Amino acid sequence: MLLKQFQLTMKDLCMTNLKHPGIKLIRKNTIFYVLTCCIIFILKYHYSQASCNNLAWMLSPTATLVEFVTGIDFLYEPQTGFISHQCHIIIAPACAGVNFMITALGLTAFSGFSHMIGKHKFLWLIASVLWAYSVTLCVNTLRIMISIFTYQSTLFGGYLTWERIHRLEGIFIYCIALYGVHAIVRMGVRYYGHALNSKKIISTPSAFFSESTAIWIGITPLIWYIGLTIIIPVLNGAYKKNTSMFIEHCLMVFLISGMCWGGTVLFHKLRNRE
């Protein structure tokens, strides 16, 4: 008798969970989540296997933008990248920013599917890819420009080697950029998205800048960034190539991302008081 009652209770609980609005949204958008994950996997695999020549689709426009903004000439050398002998800078495969593009793509796509209907979900996926690519080119250009300035300065020395400063700059710039990407995407969904449930769309400035919303805004980009830069290397064993450097990288990521998250929450709390 007790076993039968327990089975009925568990059945009712499962049925209740399946009817939850969040579960319904996930089920309705499963195909789009899967498609996005497939694109992410293809990009990640391509990047892990690609040579400098295979990454020309990212390196070449990045070098062109840096040349346009700074006036510094870069020469392409196969299997190496774009080199500036004047500034002793190489735009190599490690500077391609494909990991950032993957993060921006996932963050953008997953943030919008639940607010789109019909063919707009496919359009949102295409727009997410183009948006992530465009943002990555801009962020890469900024990062390389800052690296050129840092290399020509006297900021590094002792423990703060050029490599460590370059890594810190990259983590900081990518974290800030992801917060910017997420904020812009949320505004895009707010103003141009097609709501499946009007209560899910942020309709007033006060709701957009609520404390709970601020905390969620701060966490979401971090989940994507930490997932791609720390969790995936742990799962696929990539961290074993240089364990000590990976540990140092993890500490930098947690420190800088934590500061960015705290700053975001503080900004929204101050915004609420106005």
Predicted confidence (pLDDT) per residue in 41-59, tens digit: 999 999 988 888 899 999 9
How much is the average pLDDT of 2-22? 44
pTM as predicted: 0.80
Q: What is the mean pLDDT of residues 206-214?
A: 46
What radius of gyration, in Å, describes the C-alpha atoms of the chain? 22
Let me know: does 264 contact 218? Beta carbons within 8 Å. Answer: yes
What is the model's pLDDT at position 112?
A: 84
- DSSP reduced 3-state for 196: coil
The torsion angles phi and psi of 163, rounded to 5 degrees, stand at -65, -40
Name residue 261's amino acid. W
Length of the chain: 274
> Which segment of 79-83, 143-147, 264-268 scores lowest on mean pLDDT?
264-268
Does 191 or 239 have the greater pLDDT score? 239
Tokens matching residue 196 = 């499946």
pLDDT(14) > 60: no
Give residue 161's pLDDT: 76
Highest mean pLDDT among 97-101, 110-114, 270-274 belongs to 97-101
Q: Which residues of 161-182 are buried (b: 16+ CB within 10 A; e: fewer)?
A: eeeebbbebbbbbbbbbbbebb
